[in-house]
Amino acid sequence: MNKVLYTLSAMLGLLIIILLVNTVLFTSKQVSVSPLELIEVDKQAVASRLSNAVQLKTVSNQNSNEFDATAILQLHQHLANSFPQVHATLEKTVINQFSLLYKWNGINTEQKPVILMAHLDVVPIEPETAPQWEHPPFSGLISDGFVWGRGTLDNKSNLTAQLEAIENLIKSGFRPERTIFLAYGHDEETGGEQGARAIADHLKKQGVQASFTLDEGMMIVDKKLSPIKKNTGIIGIAEKGYLTLKVLAREQGGHSSMPPEKLTLLTLAHAIESLVSNQLPASLSGSSGALFDYLGPEMPFLQKMLFANRWLFEPVILMVLERQKTTNAMLRTTTAPTMIQGGVKENVLPSQAHVLVNFRILPGETPQSVLAHAKKVIDDPAVEVQIHQSSSTPPSRVSRSDSEAFHLIAKSLRQVFPGTVITPGLLLAATDSKHYETVADDNYRFSPFTLGPDDIPRIHGNNERIGLEDYAKMIQFYVQLIRNTADL
């Protein structure tokens, strides 16, 4: 008996040692930067150029016939007027009439270029929400330290901040070491087929293979929202795919006075239940694993120990993270029944009924693998499962979080936002980046502004705005990033 006890306590001791060693070796991955002087920004002047861009209603509606060509062309003109040095120095190519590609030739043409991205279009305003805006959505009003209006976060601030940065650098006599492309699509909000995809095809034809693209996507999350209670800059290294399945049930119809045992709506209900209760598995590897590699070391000791020993604690961690909808969505392909249809009259049993189920696909899975999973878990000959219309996009590839380019973005960020913890992460929405996988080694998704607790609903929502201080920092970030590309 003593021997058993002795063996058990020795094993326990060994386990504790392993856990502690792993925790001690789980060290910070944050780049250290020395303080440096950032460029001076004339906050009022830059805000008024952003404001003018916001006032142009470059709206992408679901119906592409409602596209306002005049507004996009006015935006081109506004950029030309506002950034004369950029337009005198960079080569500008208009793609598909409305998208813009600029090329700033680097000194060293041997080195791979860098592509900075943004988009010219914005989402519409729901007419019934217009009265809820504190200032009219296309006023571009500068008030209370903010520029207000649709596009101030998504995505005209990225657009004009990049151009402000380059205008500033040219004026100071700077020449980039490597070539910088600026790629501005005009239809990101409807998928980017006419804009980003065409720009990427154009670059490919020119034989361009960039080091990386940097597009909108994630941002700095305010400490109040961050799990580590420090401002956290999340650099998106991947984005989820999209799929809608149509699940159709068929049983015998007829008069509702004599219902049979097998009812169409019940069969459909069982199918929904099967899908929701047998979701695709959650995982701590891939892009979510990368997030915890970076955030784990910044956590208090006990949490740090959990993440340093995922080989043991993964089931516990998953159980906790799956309970919250935001973290759950980072870990798995999500399943969301969204629309249902069936029946024509209250006293008629429907012979068929269907539900649409929307999935956001985790990198590593595909629309086909999700379809196969759905068929398997429903497993009912009375139910047909198919991809709805053409609504499927595979997830993006996962870009590297150990590349020089990732390091460079992280360094630029910490130079402009000292103390911010940087981590790679998975973007739950879609961007134009997916079109650039073949023209760049890596695709990163990050907008250099800080999102506070009440800011998330502003994106694509009401009262979108950006602080003048925040906007100045965006410009400083792009300046720093371009300067740093010499060290890639």
Interaxial angle between packed helices 156-171 and 69-82, expressed in degrees from 0 to 180 and rounded to the nearest 10: 30
The separation between the first and the last C-alpha atoms of the chain, rounded to the nearest angstrom, is 63
Across 8-98, where does the E strand assignment appear? 91-95
- Quick one: 147 or 306, whose CB is closer to Zn ion? 147
The answer to whether the CB of 271 falls within 8 A of the CB of 384 is no
Q: What does the alpha-carbon distance between residue 250 and residue 246 come to, in Å, rounded to a whole number?
A: 13
Minimum distance of Zn ion from residue 119's CB (angstroms): 6
Contacts of 134 by beta carbon, 8 Å cutoff, 6+ apart: 148, 463
* 188 part of the active site: yes
Minimum distance of Zn ion from residue 460's CB (angstroms): 8
**Which residue, 183, 170, 185, is CA-closest to 213?**
183
Minimum distance of Zn ion from residue 216's CB (angstroms): 5
**Which residue, 174, 187, 178, is CA-closest to 60?**
187
Tokens standing for residue 282:
């959650």
Q: How far is CA 391 from the centre of its chain?
A: 19
- Residues 200-239 as x/- pattern, contact with Zn ion by CB under 5 A: ----------------x-----------------------
Q: What does the alpha-carbon distance between residue 117 and residue 219 come to, in Å, rounded to a whole number?
A: 15
- Quick one: 106 or 192, whose CB is closer to Zn ion? 192
Minimum distance of Zn ion from residue 207's CB (angstroms): 28
Minimum distance of Zn ion from residue 157's CB (angstroms): 10
Q: What is the DSSP letter of 262?
A: S
Q: Binding to Zn ion (CB under 5 A): which residues in 172-201?
A: none
Tokens standing for residue 250:
């068929």
Question: Looking at 155, 226, 412, 423, which residue binds Zn ion (CB under 5 A)?
Answer: 155
Spatial strand order of the sheet with 465-467 comes to 142-143, 146-148, 465-467
The stretch among 142-150, 155-163, 464-472, 478-486 that binds Zn ion (CB under 5 A) is: 155-163
Minimum distance of Zn ion from residue 112's CB (angstroms): 25
- Residues 52-91 as x/- pattern, contact with Zn ion by CB under 5 A: ----------------------------------------
* Conformational region of residue 163, where left means phi above 0, alpha means psi within -120 to 50, and beta covers everything else: alpha
Q: Which residue has the tokens 């906007």?
A: 471
- 433 interacts with Zn ion by CB under 5 A: no
- Quick one: 137 or 296, whose CB is closer to Zn ion? 137
Q: What does the alpha-carbon distance between residue 486 and residue 83 come to, in Å, rounded to a whole number?
A: 23
Q: What does the alpha-carbon distance between residue 283 and residue 373 come to, in Å, rounded to a whole number?
A: 16
Minimum distance of Zn ion from residue 432's CB (angstroms): 8
Across 6-136, where does the E strand assignment appear? 91-95, 99-104, 114-119
Minimum distance of Zn ion from residue 138's CB (angstroms): 17
- Quick one: 87 or 460, whose CB is closer to Zn ion? 460
- Quick one: 196 or 268, whose CB is closer to Zn ion? 196
Q: What does the alpha-carbon distance between residue 273 and residue 243 come to, in Å, rounded to a whole number?
A: 19
Neighbour tally for 12: CB within 10 Å: 10
The stretch among 9-17, 153-161, 174-182, 207-215 that binds Zn ion (CB under 5 A) is: 153-161
- Quick one: 51 or 431, whose CB is closer to Zn ion? 431
- Three-class secondary structure of residue 291 per DSSP: helix
Minimum distance of Zn ion from residue 218's CB (angstroms): 12
Residues that bind Zn ion (rule: CB under 5 A) add up to a total of 3
Does a cis peptide bond (omega within 30 degrees of 0) precede residue 155?
A: yes
- Quick one: 154 or 239, whose CB is closer to Zn ion? 154
The answer to whether the CB of 284 falls within 8 A of the CB of 316 is no
- Quick one: 168 or 443, whose CB is closer to Zn ion? 443
- Quick one: 154 or 251, whose CB is closer to Zn ion? 154
CA dihedral 16, 18, 21, 26 (to 10 degrees): -110
* Strand duo 99-104 + 91-95: pairing: antiparallel
Question: Looking at 154, 167, 298, 470, which residue binds Zn ion (CB under 5 A)?
Answer: 154
* 432 part of the active site: no
Determine which one of 187, 188, 215, 455 is catalytic: 188
- Give residues in contact with Zn ion (CB under 5 A): 154-155, 216
| Positions marked active-site | 121, 188
